[in-house]
Amino acid sequence: MNKRVLVKFSGEALAGADGYGIDTQILDYIANEIKELVNNNIEVGIVIGGGNIVRGVTAAADGVIKRTSADYMGMLATVINGVAMQEALEHKGLSARLQTAIKMEQIAEPYIVRRATRHLQKGRVVIFSAGTGNPYFTTDTAATLRATEIGAQMLIKATKVDGVYDKDPMKYDDAVKLETITYDQALEDHIKVMDDTAIALAKDNKLPIVVANMNEKGNLLSIIKGDYTKCSIVK
C-alpha cells in the first residue's frame, strides 16, 4: 500500500515578503516539493489556510463584521488559495483536484471523502479547501480532520521553522528544539504547535503531527522516508 500524507500550508506561506496575497514563485516551489512526493508514489492531500487574505478573528476585531461572517470570509480565502494551488500543481504536470467543504461546484468538487480517497489512489493530489466548513474552527483543525478521514499516516505542518521550540526561536537565541512532543505537552500554553481543537482531535485518533521547515528543499520527502532531523513530531 502506498504511503498517504496530508500536508498543511498556512496562507501566509503562500505570501511573498509583504505577507499578503499569493506569490506564484512560492506556489511553484511548493508544487515542486509536492511533485517529489508524488514521484515517489506517496499519496498527497493538501490543506491550505487563508491567513494571507482574511483571518476571521482579525476581520471581526472591531465588531463591524460579525465573527461568523468573518469566518466565512476566511473560508473563502482558503478556496482562493486552493484554486491557485491547483493551478500550480497542474503547471508542474501533476493531476490535482480541489474540493471544498462548502459547495461551489463551478469552482471545485464538493468534499466527499470516498471521492477524495479514489483520487488519491489514482495518484491525484487532492486539495481540501474551505476549512471544515464551519465558523470558529481553523484550517489546522481542518487538516487534522481531513488527515484522519482519509487515513493519512501523518499530518505534516509545513512552516518556516525546523520544528517546535520551547520558546520562540525568532525572538530567543537560547530556544531549544523539541524533537518529540506528546499531545499533552502540545496542549500546554507555551508550546504553539496547533490550536487545542486540532491537537485534541489528533490525540484521539493517534495521528502523528510533524512540524517541518518547508523552505528546506527535499525536507518533506526526507521526513516521509524517515529522516526526522529537520522537524519535530507530536505523537
Residue numbers belonging to the annotated binding site: 8-11, 50-51, 55, 71, 132-139, 159, 165, 168
Is residue 117 near ligand UDP by the rule CB under 6 A? no
**Measured distance CA(82)–CA(112) in Å, rounded:** 16
Nearest position to ligand UDP, beta carbon:
49
- Choose which of 86, 139, 159, 232 interacts with ligand UDP (CB under 6 A): 139
Pairing of strands 231-234, 180-181: parallel
Among the listed ranges 24-32, 47-55, 113-121, 198-206, the one in contact with ligand UDP (CB under 6 A) is 47-55
Smaller CB separation from ligand UDP, 57 or 176: 57
Q: Is the Cα dihedral 101, 102, 108, 114 positive or negative? A: positive
Collapsing DSSP to helix, strand or coil, 73 comes out as helix
- Choose which of 22, 43, 45, 49 interacts with ligand UDP (CB under 6 A): 49
Q: Identity (one letter) of the amino acid at 15?
A: A
Is residue 155 near ligand UDP by the rule CB under 6 A? no
Helix 24-39, helix 67-91: angle, nearest 10 = 60
Residue found under cell 492531500: 45
- Choose which of 42, 46, 75, 116 interacts with ligand UDP (CB under 6 A): 75
Is residue 82 near ligand UDP by the rule CB under 6 A? no
Is residue 12 near ligand UDP by the rule CB under 6 A? yes
- Strand runs labelled E in 82-141: 96-100, 109-110, 125-129
Q: What b/e readout covers 31-55, taking b as 16+ CB neighbours within 10 angstroms?
A: bebbbbbbeeebbbbbbbbbbbbbb
Is residue 71 near ligand UDP by the rule CB under 6 A? yes
- Choose which of 50, 150, 155, 181 interacts with ligand UDP (CB under 6 A): 50
- Choose which of 79, 125, 142, 193 interacts with ligand UDP (CB under 6 A): 142
Collapsing DSSP to helix, strand or coil, 156 comes out as strand
First-last CA distance in the chain? 22
Is residue 143 near ligand UDP by the rule CB under 6 A? no
Is residue 98 near ligand UDP by the rule CB under 6 A? no
**Measured distance CA(20)–CA(53) in Å, rounded:** 6
Residues that bind ligand UDP (CB under 6 A): 10-12, 49-51, 55-56, 70-71, 74-75, 77-78, 131-132, 134-135, 137-140, 142
